[in-house]
Structure 1
Amino acid sequence: MRSIQLRALPRLSPAPPALYSSPRIQTQITRLYTTQSNIGNGPQTTSSRKKSITVLSDDGRVQWGDLSRGEKVARATQQSFNFVIVLAGAVLTGGVFTLFYLEVLSPNSKTWQFETAVGRIKDDPECIKLLGDRREIKAYGEQTSSRWARNKPIASSTEKDRLGREHLRMHFHVEGPLNSGVVVVHMMKPLDKSNFEYQLLALDVKGHPRIVLEKASEKANVTSALKLFGIQWR
């Protein structure tokens, strides 16, 4: 077997102490140590310049005291614009709810009176006998020329008489398993009241006598009070 001989490497002698005592070498060593000790800690000081605040770029992160005069004007303009938008939205929402109440939920609306009259027809025994099962009675408005119209409008009109009393007149169609007919509605709002009162609520079916559900009776004292100088004011 062949033997392997290892040769010893020459031993390096340490640097002489005089080399480390040199001011230049000590300065370089100090800089190297400082650089290595700051690795991973990030820069000690940052000099980042704040972006200019405009009406479109302001996100509210910068404090008011740190803004310049022009930036304060930009922020005030942005906040004023946002306030106007919110106020306009609130007004529009209130208008929509008001219109919805007046047209649908109010007791004086045409929709409310239509639904009330339909309910009266379905609950009246004579109307049920003439039309058929109340659960199958349908109410609808006038036919329209539009083939795409889903809702049939209810024929109605409002007017005021000479005394300033408001009148509401409408008519609509009802159809049951036995017959179909027309409902006539006449309502009046007295001067001393805020809601309409029935003057006439009747069902007309062809070939049958009119069924009257409501009919106002004139009071003698009211009639005499409206008669002046031989003229009947109605």
Structure 2
Amino acid sequence: MISSRVPPSPLASLLKLPASTRLLFHNHVHPARQYATSSSLPNSTPQASRRAVTVANDTGRIPWTQLSTREKAARTTQQSFNLLVVLAGIIMTGGVSYVLYREVFSTDSKTAVFNRVADRVKADARCVELLGGRSGGRDVKAYGEPSWSRWARNRMIASRTETDKLGTEHLYMHFYVEGPLNSGTVNLHMTRRHGEKDFEYRFLAVDVKGHERIYLENADAGKMDKRGQGRMFGVKWW
């Protein structure tokens, strides 16, 4: 006798299985889809985050094309400021160099004039004898305005320059000399006509207290002698 019982369907048999078994069967039949991402690609690299470029932290390493509008403005401001600082430094250096040359290294600078006049005083036998010391003035010292600091004595030289109506430049200077016996004051007057390069002596004298003035240069005295020649009682006779 043939049985008429219908065998159960596979779906019904599957439904009778436990839930964990059905999940394993589902993953085996329908595997999960894999989606490509930027991190799973073999040639992709993650983009490194960077700080925003500002005037204070810009080092110039980031290319100009990668900067935003605000960052470009910050870099332009920083570079403009750096350029101004460099130009100011160049101008200041040039000014200091010019002053240093005029005051120290130039042949007509006050320091150069002081050194030449001091050497003349030390080389004059009358001055050396009055101040004391050995021949050649090796014991005679020359210095500027006295000060409580002995280091400042060689730095402060009293002098002034002025130009008259004819364009002649006048240089006035005085400083001090000191020897083993006495000390004195040196007075100097030099002139330089307009267009000329070097100064000429008009007056150079050494004054020591209690002694007669010593003249090393006195151009005005020569003029006075020429004016007095041929005159007697205020009348020119020859």
Please confirm whether the aligned pair reaches a TM-score higher than 0.5, indicating the same fold.
yes
Give the alignment of 1:65-80 within 5 angstroms. 65-80=65-80
Partner Cα distance (2:144, 2:84) in 1? 42
What is the aligned partner in structure 1 of residue 114 from structure 2?
114
Partner Cα distance (1:161, 1:67) in 2? 64
Q: Which amino acid aligns with 1:190?
A: R
CA-to-aligned-CA distance 1:27-55 (integer Å, 9 cap, x gap): 9xxxxxxxxxxxxxxx9722312322111
Q: Which amino acid aligns with 2:216?
A: L
Partner Cα distance (1:48, 1:155) in 2? 69
Tell me whether 1:204 sits opposite 2:207 in the alignment.
yes
Partner Cα distance (2:48, 2:175) in 1? 76
How far does residue 150 in structure 1 lie from its aligned partner after superposition?
4.7
How far does residue 107 in structure 1 lie from its aligned partner after superposition?
2.7
CA-to-aligned-CA distance 1:83-102 (integer Å, 9 cap, x gap): 11111111112112222222
Give the alignment of 1:32-47 within 5 angstroms. 45-47=45-47
Unpaired stretches in structure 1, ≥5 consecutive residues: 1-22, 28-42, 224-234
How far does residue 207 in structure 1 lie from its aligned partner after superposition?
4.2
Unpaired stretches in structure 2, ≥5 consecutive residues: 1-26, 32-42, 228-238
Partner Cα distance (1:87, 1:177) in 2? 53
Q: Does the C-alpha gap of structure 1 residues 213 and 69 become closer, same or farther in structure 2, counting only changes over 3 Å?
A: same
Q: Which one is further off, 49-58 or 183-192?
A: 49-58
What is the aligned partner in structure 2 of residue 102 from structure 1?
102
Partner Cα distance (1:55, 1:189) in 2? 55
How far does residue 65 in structure 1 lie from its aligned partner after superposition?
2.0
What is the aligned partner in structure 2 of residue 171 from structure 1?
174
What is the aligned partner in structure 1 of residue 56 from structure 2?
56
What is the aligned partner in structure 1 of residue 158 from structure 2?
155
Partner Cα distance (2:72, 2:164) in 1? 61
What is the aligned partner in structure 2 of residue 185 from structure 1?
188
> Match of 2:60, SS?
coil
Q: Which amino acid aligns with 1:141?
A: G
What is the aligned partner in structure 2 of residue 85 from structure 1?
85
Q: Which one is further off, 154-163 or 188-197?
A: 154-163
CA-to-aligned-CA distance 1:120-176 (integer Å, 9 cap, x gap): 1122233223322322211123345xx468524333232222312111112222111
> Match of 2:159, SS?
strand
> Match of 1:87, SS?
helix
Larger gyration radius, structure 1 or structure 2: 2
Partner Cα distance (1:71, 1:130) in 2? 78
> Match of 1:50, SS?
coil
Give the alignment of 1:26-37 within 5 angstroms. none
> Match of 1:135, SS?
coil
Task: Kindly report the root-mean-square deviation, in angstroms, between the aligned alpha carbons of the 2 structures.
Answer: 2.9
TM-score w.r.t. the length of structure 2 is 0.65
Equivalent residue pairs, number:
180
> Match of 1:193, SS?
coil
Q: Which amino acid aligns with 1:205?
A: V
TM-score w.r.t. the length of structure 1 is 0.66
- Identity fraction in percent: 50
Q: Does the C-alpha gap of structure 1 residues 54 and 202 become closer, same or farther in structure 2, counting only changes over 3 Å?
A: same
Partner Cα distance (1:47, 1:206) in 2? 90
Partner Cα distance (1:206, 1:124) in 2? 18
Tell me whether 1:123 sits opposite 2:126 in the alignment.
no
